[in-house]
């Protein structure tokens, strides 16, 4: 973990780019710490390779996602694709990260069930148990990694470091009420920890990976993964 050190701010590329070798050392230090925390991927990418597409957030509305309007970190309360594109355009570099695990065979076999549309499948007891026991713990690990990257970057002077997680926000998720995420009529209960996902902000995760020379497959029995991103400078 990178501890806070007194340093000059390096929050813009005009400043950070004055000493590229020092910047590269900082990024390797941050990515190395992320891998130490359990990240399968922690890679510096050019921010221009982060794909933003309004169709991503429209998929939250057609068909209507169960999280739409139910969480402070999801549409329509999350940043729009237009807002995200403008912000990403201010950055030169970001760190792409992910964490994954092998999908349990019994669950993979279950999702092959014929004639069971997603609108019904996701509310089966098997699906909700998998979410509680497997997906959410993995999401929590990704959240920890993204927060660590953001914190480490900030502590090294990259004050505009800003993290995005995956899916919805599970910080206040109540497993006894799996369709309730948070009370959007009240302020966020964990504002310093809550972060929107790449998708909720209009980022096309698959195209971003492709632009960065990486591949991200749809769910497979070999790997279930969550992806996150931290804009750095």
Pull the structure tokens for residue 187: 């302020």
In the chain, % of residues over pLDDT 90: 70
Does residue 85 sit within a domain? yes
Does residue 6 sit within a domain? no
The pLDDT of residue 127 is 80
Q: Is the pLDDT of residue 204 over 70?
A: yes
Does residue 69 sit within a domain? yes
Does residue 7 sit within a domain? no
Does residue 197 sit within a domain? yes
Q: Are 29 and 148 in contact (CB under 8 A)?
A: no
Angle at 48 between CA 23 and CA 145, to 5 degrees: 60
The pLDDT of residue 129 is 82
Does residue 54 sit within a domain? yes
Q: How many domains does the chain have?
A: 1
Lowest mean pLDDT among 11-15, 75-79, 218-222: 218-222
The whole-model pTM stands at: 0.93
The pLDDT of residue 181 is 75
Q: Is the pLDDT of residue 65 over 90?
A: no
Does residue 221 sit within a domain? yes
The pLDDT of residue 233 is 98
CA distance 105 to 24: 41
DSSP class of residue 170 equals -
CA distances from 136 to 4, 175, 210 (A): 30, 10, 26
Domain that holds residue 96: 13-231
Q: Is the pLDDT of residue 52 over 70?
A: yes
């Amino acid at each position: 973990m990178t501890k806070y050190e007194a340093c000059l701010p390096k929050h813009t590329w005009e400043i950070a780019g004055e000493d590229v070798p020092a910047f590269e050392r900082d990024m390797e230090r941050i990515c190395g710490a992320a891998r130490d925390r359990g990240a399968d991927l922690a890679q510096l990418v050019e921010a221009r390779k982060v794909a933003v597409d309004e169709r991503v957030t429209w998929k939250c509305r057609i068909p209507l996602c169960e999280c739409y309007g139910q969480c402070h970190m999801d549409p329509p309360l999350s940043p729009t694709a237009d807002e995200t594109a403008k912000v990403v355009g201010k950055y030169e570099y970001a760190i792409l990260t992910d964490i994954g695990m092998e999908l349990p065979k019994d669950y993979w076999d279950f999702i092959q069930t014929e004639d069971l549309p997603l609108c019904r499948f996701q509310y089966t007891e098997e699906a909700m148990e998998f979410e509680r026991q497997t997906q959410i713990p993995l999401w929590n690990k990704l959240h920890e990694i993204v927060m660590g990257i953001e914190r480490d970057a900030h502590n090294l002077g990259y004050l505009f470091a800003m993290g995005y997680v995956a899916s919805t926000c599970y910080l206040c998720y109540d497993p006894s009420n799996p369709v309730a995420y948070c009370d959007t009529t009240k302020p966020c209960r964990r504002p310093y920890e809550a972060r929107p996902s790449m998708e909720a902000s209009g980022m096309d995760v698959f195209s971003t990976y492709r632009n960065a020379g990486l591949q991200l497959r749809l769910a497979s029995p070999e790997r279930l993964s969550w992806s996150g991103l931290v804009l750095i400078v």
